Amino acid sequence: MHFLNVLSLVACLFTIALGQNLTLYDQIKSHNATTFLRLIEKEGLASILQNPSDGPYTLLVPTDKAFAKLPPDDLHRVEHNSQALQEVIQYHLIHGANLEHDFLFGRHYFLKSKNGHVVRVYRSATGTHFNQATAVKSDIQASNGVMYLINSVLDVPEGTVVDILGNIAYNTSDFLHLIKLARLQTNYANPTGLNRYTVFAPNNAAMAAMPAAHLEAIKNDTTNLRMFIEYHVHSGTMHIGTVEKHHTIRTTLPNHNIAVTPDTTGDVLLDHIAHITLSDIEAENGVVHVIDHVLMPQILTPIIG
For the chain, the domains span 3-150, 161-304
Write out residues in the chain with pLDDT < 50, as ranges: 3-4, 6-18
Domain 161-304 classified CATH 2.40.50.100? no
Give the homologous superfamily in CATH for domain 3-150.
Answer: FAS1 domain (2.30.180.10)
Q: How far is CA 305 from CA 54, 69, 178, 215, in A?
A: 64, 45, 20, 12
- Determine the pLDDT at residue 193: 75
Give every CB contact of residue 71 below 8 A, 6+ residues apart in sequence.
none
Max CA pair span of the chain: 80
Q: Is the Cβ–Cβ distance between 209 and 171 less than 8 Å? A: no
Q: Go through the chain and tell me how many residues it has.
A: 305
d(CA 133, CA 154): 7
Model pTM score: 0.84
d(CA 31, CA 137): 10
- Determine the pLDDT at residue 305: 62
CA angle 143, 147, 149 (to 5 degrees): 155
Cβ atoms within 10 A of the Cβ of 4, count?
8
φ/ψ of 180, rounded to 5, equals: -70, -40
Q: Is the Cβ–Cβ distance between 257 and 250 less than 8 Å? A: yes
Cβ atoms within 10 A of the Cβ of 245, count?
10
Q: Where are the beta strands (DSSP E) in 13-126?
A: 57-62, 93-95, 108-112, 118-124
Q: Where are the beta strands (DSSP E) in 227-295?
A: 233-235, 248-250, 257-262, 268-270, 274-283, 286-291
Q: If DSSP codes are grouped into helix, strand and coil, which group holds residue 93?
A: strand
Would you say the CATH fold of 161-304 matches that of 3-150? yes
Q: Quick: pLDDT tens for 110-121.
A: 999 999 999 999
Reference 208, options 293, 138, 142, 108; nearest CA is 293
Reference 284, options 170, 162, 176; nearest CA is 162
Reference 16, options 25, 6, 27; nearest CA is 27
